[in-house]
Amino acid sequence: MARERRRHTGTEHRPLPLPRKATPPERDWTRVLLVALVSCAIGVSAFAYSGYMRWSLALRVLTLHPSPRVWPPNSSSSALSPNMFWGSYRPQLYFGMKTRSPHSVVTGLMWLSQAGAPSLRHTCEQGDGLARYGWLLHDGENFGVQEITDRGFTLRTEFVKRPGGDHGGDWSWRIRASPQASSSPGQILSLMFYVATDGQGTLTPHVAGRRHLTHVTGESEELGPFTLRFLTAEGGDGHVSYNYLSTTCPGLHTLTDVVRTSLRDHFTHPTESGGSRGNKRRYFGLDSYHPPPLPPGTPAPPPHTQLVVHQLTLQLPFQAEVLFESGSFQQRPGQLSGVSLGTELDRHKTNMENRFQSIFRLEEKGFTPDQVAFAQAALSNMLGGMGYFYGSSVVKSPHNAEPVLYPAAPLYTAVPSRSFFPRGFLWDEGFHLLLIGRWNPSLAWQSLGHWLDLMNADGWIPREQILGSEARSKVPDEFVIQKSENANPPTLFLALRQLLANTEGDEALRRAWPRLQTWYDWYNSTQAGLLPHTYRWRGRDQDPLRFLNPKTLTSGLDDYPRASHPSEEERHVDLRCWMALASQVMADIAERLEEDGGRYRHDHNILTDNALLDHHHWSERLGAYADYGNHTQNTALEWVRPRAAPGQDPRSVPPPQLIRVVRKPPRLQYVGALGYVSLFPFLLQVLDPSAPHLGRLLDLIRDADKLWTPYGIRSLSKGSPLYLQRNTEHDAPYWRGPIWINMNYLTVRALYLYSQMEGPHRDRLVSLYRELRQNLLANLYRQYKNTGFLWEQYNDQTGQGQGCFPFTGWSSLLVLIMAEEY
């Protein structure tokens, strides 16, 4: 995760002025040749040639890898993958579904409490202040059960799919709304179910009486004809009020605004306990949508999206069902509603619980039913957080004067956080797939292949995937652009290593092979250090005055201290270890596919040569592995107040600025930071089990003045100069102390793996393993019980969850720690 993204708020956004699409290379060959010829003729061929070179270099970043895709576009279609066609692939919503297709018809739920100030809920927002929400069960394929605790009431949102026909089958939703014990009686609540198109397809609302939308019929390319039925709600006190909206709007990213601005409060709901005015209560209902006035002369945006919303308003408690029925599903064995819906949900719940038990065996390890439910929820949120996105990244290479649009592509991926990071992140995904792959290797392969299919001809994969208007509306412009020099840890190799353990993905693996080779070469060449077999992250912050320590977002560890003065001489020990892992997995894959993997084996032998590793990265003074570079420990942030020039109006002097001052000049040396980076040769098993330095690393881990806490391993030693230091006035410490679960997973796993090998530290490894595992699990469980969420990171002094929430990406690796699956 990158620090800068923490500041994003999901509510406001400015649409990014889209760069114009660069001309695809193949089409313009003739024009180029013609231009070149003409230029030749007039004697400026040298100029034309350099122009052509610039042009072709500028397009190179957009040229996709030439080998056949791991997953061709039709692989997610309803024809080839019918059971996975529909899903909760809109993780940024509290509840919604779409299909795995580029311009899917989407469905979703909004709700509006009619008590107090109305607050409309739709996309997951931390600012909504929900006490908890998340999937209790979700198998990634057939069904899901979620519980949402809002102020005064609880929603249980369930869905189940039923295969049949040629278009991905049917599904049903059941929403149960119940008052909390503390809430005042007679509270009324509105649910709004909607269906919307994304540029193609048509919807026809069917309305009974004045405002009661009973069903919507529709048709789209991928779905054929279909019907969405809103069954009569049960419960309330017998009164239901209806409203509906049918309108068009510029796109899916505007849905919340359209609904919010279509609400009027002149409707009344009859209720037994409804206050003073003749048992009627005013409520906010959908009326009609009037687009905001445009500045004069601006053409109205074309109606990209058709939106139909069904609103029902009634008193708690109640239950409502929504049915999607596919037109091509001929022999439907009755409606999937009421009792049969309940039966179907129960069947899937039992299946999931049994499968969970047989894969993870938590009962055998002594966990209580409540702890098992916690683990099931963690897995379910990882699976329920999987999305299907489609669109173009905005990218820039050193050869582009302006950002350009990457070719549009699909991405099926898990997301780190449904509220804060509801999109794909390259290095997070490698961790996600460790858990997903244990549950269902096929899902992991699908995600992995989609990621590799985003690779360009050079072997670069944009690390943050902001695809489509909904995703883009959540990210401020300045963070949208992906730079083609920038890497991110190749954690997909972690996932690949695990997936190699069974043969299920062999065909995908064969298709992936040419891409993996290019990918490896890209890291090996573009991120190489000055000395052979050393590596350096590109893309560090350059501004020498702004940051206490220039960040290295590309490493994934953001503000973790590195050399104070970025330079070519730098070498990064974490990247070297990632490459050691990558070379090993490449060699293993080559063997599996009976390809020549000699180059990778050779790299691996060198990168795991402990003498060479020590030579490049062991700092005796630090007693740990370290980065090397142009560095000084003596930097600080100081307020600098510009002085008014003689005669200058003091009010025109710029305000004081917090800037970095360097008190002692930097020199080439090991970087004096003790923390996660120091452990990498151990975390990724580059270190020999009998290496003399292993004992020193274990000392560092177990030392409470350094990395050890009762809640897990902290990211930076308490004794490090930058421990819990801000990087700028606005950047709180991120990887400078807090406890992160992905790194703790790697630590527990390394302790476990080394404890299984012959070596002088076995007893110590075993006891450290037990202790760290116990500490982590106890705290994660305690925090979940107290706060309702898994968190992005945990405070190293108190164990409290902090950063964004829910964070059910790599924090969900706790399931593997419970199961001792490494």
Catalytic residue numbers read 558, 792
311 versus 635: smaller Cβ distance to ligand NAG: 635
Token pair of 55 as six digits: 């042009």
In which residue are the tokens 């490896």 written? 520
Measure the CA–CA gap between 314 and 317, rounded to whole angstroms.
8
Residue 410 three-state SS: strand
Measure the CA–CA gap between 443 and 387, rounded to whole angstroms.
12
Token pair of 785 as six digits: 């019980």
Q: How far is the CB of 606 from ligand NAG (least distance, A)?
A: 8
90 versus 565: smaller Cβ distance to ligand NAG: 565
For residue 309, the tally of other CB atoms under 10 A from its CB is: 25
Taking the C-alpha atoms of 685, 687, 690 and 696 in order, what is their torsion angle to the nearest 10 degrees? -110
Question: Left (φ > 0), alpha (ψ -120 to 50) or beta: where does 338 sit?
Answer: left
Contacts of 719 (CB under 8 A, 6+ apart): 674, 705, 706
Q: How far is the CB of 668 from ligand NAG (least distance, A)?
A: 5
Residue 801 three-state SS: strand
Identify any residues that bridge with 456 across adjacent strands, giving them in sequence order: 64
Token pair of 201 as six digits: 């397809």
Token pair of 802 as six digits: 């902090």
CB of 645 within 8 A of CB of 684? no
Phi, psi of 374 (to 5 degrees): -60, -45
540 versus 714: smaller Cβ distance to ligand NAG: 540
CB of 187 within 8 A of CB of 304? no
Contacts of 804 (CB under 8 A, 6+ apart): 6, 126, 417, 419, 420, 421, 791, 792
- Nearest by Cα to 735 from 744, 66, 618: 744
In which residue are the tokens 């789209």 written? 220
Contacts of 433 (CB under 8 A, 6+ apart): 414, 444, 447, 448, 492, 494, 495, 498, 499
Taking the C-alpha atoms of 79, 81, 86 and 88 in order, what is their torsion angle to the nearest 10 degrees? -160
Question: Left (φ > 0), alpha (ψ -120 to 50) or beta: where does 515 sit?
Answer: alpha
Measure the CA–CA gap between 96 and 110, rounded to whole angstroms.
9
587 versus 804: smaller Cβ distance to ligand NAG: 587
Q: How far is the CB of 229 from ligand NAG (least distance, A)?
A: 31
Contacts of 188 (CB under 8 A, 6+ apart): 114, 115, 269, 271, 281, 283, 313, 314, 315, 316
For residue 457, the tally of other CB atoms under 10 A from its CB is: 14
Q: How far is the CB of 451 from ligand NAG (least distance, A)?
A: 19
- Nearest by Cα to 472 from 301, 252, 259, 302: 252
CB of 386 within 8 A of CB of 140? yes
Phi, psi of 384 (to 5 degrees): -70, -15
CB of 229 within 8 A of CB of 212? no
567 versus 605: smaller Cβ distance to ligand NAG: 567
Question: How long, in residues, is the chain?
Answer: 822
Cis omega (within 30 of 0) for bond into 806: yes
Q: Could you tell me the CA-to-CA distances from 670 to 45, 520, 537, 630, 631 in Å, in that order?
A: 50, 27, 16, 8, 8
Q: How far apart are the first and last CA of the chain?
A: 23
CA–centroid distance for 792 within its chain? 12
Contacts of 757 (CB under 8 A, 6+ apart): 689
Q: How far is the CB of 109 from ligand NAG (least distance, A)?
A: 34
- Amino acid of residue 286: L
63 versus 526: smaller Cβ distance to ligand NAG: 526
For residue 790, the tally of other CB atoms under 10 A from its CB is: 27
- Nearest by Cα to 629 from 486, 743, 737, 531: 531
Interface ranges with ligand NAG (CB under 6 A) = 72, 74, 80, 521, 524, 528, 532, 565, 567, 569, 599-600, 603, 630, 666, 668
92 versus 584: smaller Cβ distance to ligand NAG: 584
Q: How far is the CB of 684 from ligand NAG (least distance, A)?
A: 18
584 versus 775: smaller Cβ distance to ligand NAG: 584
